[in-house]
Chain A
Amino acid sequence: MNKCPQYIVDYMHEYLDGDIQREQELELKNHLQSCTDCQQHMHELSDSIAFIKSATHISAPPNLEIGVMARLPKPKQHVGIQKWLRRHPFIVAAATFIILMSGSLLTGYNDDQQFSVTKQPNLVVDGQTVIVPEGETVTGDIVVRNGDIRVEGEVDGNITVINGEYMASTSVVTGQVEEIDKAFEWLWYEIKSAFKDLEKMFESDETK
Chain B
Amino acid sequence: MDALINKRIKQVLKGDQSAFSDIVSHYQHSLYQVCYRMLGNRQEAEDIAQEAFVRAYMNLHTFDQKRKFSTWLYRIATNLCIDRLRKKKPDYYLDAEVAGTEGLNMYSQIAADEPLPEAELEKMELQERIQYEISRLPEKYRVVVVLKYIEELSLQEISEVLDMPLGTVKTRLHRGREALRKQLNSL
Contacts and interface: CB of A to CB of B under 8 A. Distances in A.
Contacts of B28: 60, 64-65, 68
B9 interface: no
Contacts of A89: none
A57 B33 contact: yes
A178 interface: no
A61 B51 CA distance: 15
Given A58-B32, A59-B105, A68-B53, A17 B173 contact: yes
B133 A64 contact: no
Contact of B15 (A41, A71, A75): A75
A83 B18 CA distance: 13
Contact of B46 (A55, A61, A73, A82): A61
A100 interface: no
Interface in B119-136: 126-127, 130-131, 133-134
Contacts of A72: 17, 20, 54, 57
Interface in A13-60: 13, 16-17, 19, 41, 44-45, 47-49, 51-60
Given A51-B184, A68-B54, A61 B42 contact: yes
Given A16-B177, A69-B24, A83-B15, A48 B50 contact: no
Main secondary structure of the interface of B (DSSP, over half): helix
B76 interface: no
A101 interface: no
B50 to A, nearest CB: 5
A98 interface: no
Nearest to A44: B181
Contacts of B32: 58-61, 64
A39 to B, nearest CB: 14
B149 A52 contact: yes
Contacts of B46: 60-61, 64, 67
27 contacts: A13-B173, A16-B177, A17-B173, A41-B181, A44-B181, A47-B184, A48-B177, A48-B180, A49-B149, A49-B177, A51-B133, A51-B180, A54-B126, A55-B102, A56-B127, A57-B29, A59-B29, A59-B105, A60-B32, A60-B33, A60-B49, A61-B32, A64-B46, A64-B49, A65-B25, A69-B17, A76-B15
Q: Lowest 3 A-B CB distances belong to which pairs?
A: A60-B32, A79-B15, A60-B28
Interface of B: 15-17, 20-21, 24-25, 28-29, 31-33, 36-37, 42, 46, 49-51, 53-54, 57-58, 102-103, 105-106, 126-127, 130-131, 133-134, 145, 149-150, 155, 170, 173-174, 177-178, 180-181, 184-185
Given A17-B155, A45-B177, A55-B134, 7 more contacts: A45-B181, A48-B181, A56-B103, A58-B29, A60-B31, A60-B33, A64-B24
